A = this chain, B = another copy of it.
């Protein structure tokens, strides 16, 4: 069993603002991230799968296939996008914090994960070099 991780950068903009909170609370909680005009980041997404190494080919997953899935399911929706305006979940009021971005991307990947792929084990998103968010997919098992 081996864990394979592949890194995908993408650029996006967002604004942190919870519609259910007052302007004062939004400003206090989100600080300059609450700026009404938004701002942006070079996010770095890492997708990790775990599985056995194929005896014949020596790979756990063909990286081209993983790349194709992540491009179709995640990057086409997230790269060079405004998260508040262009991702339905965030347009509907969910705050596009990187925590929620991680949850939303995890849902996309789990929903589209092909049967033949090794197990999706973890996703990790860095918003900047200093802020990192990780979801262990094992926490969703049995739900």
Contacts and interface: CB of A to CB of B under 8 A. Distances in A.
Interface of A: 1-9, 11-14, 16, 18, 20-21, 29-33, 35, 37-42, 46, 53, 56-60, 62-64, 79-82, 85-86, 94-97, 99-100, 102-103, 128-136, 139
B102 A35 contact: no
Contacts of A82: 13, 35, 37-39
- Please report whether the interface of chain A is mostly helix, strand, loop or mixed according to DSSP: mixed
Contact of A5 (B18, B46, B79, B134): B134
A3 B7 CA distance: 18
B42 A13 contact: no
Contact of A129 (B2, B7, B58, B85): B7
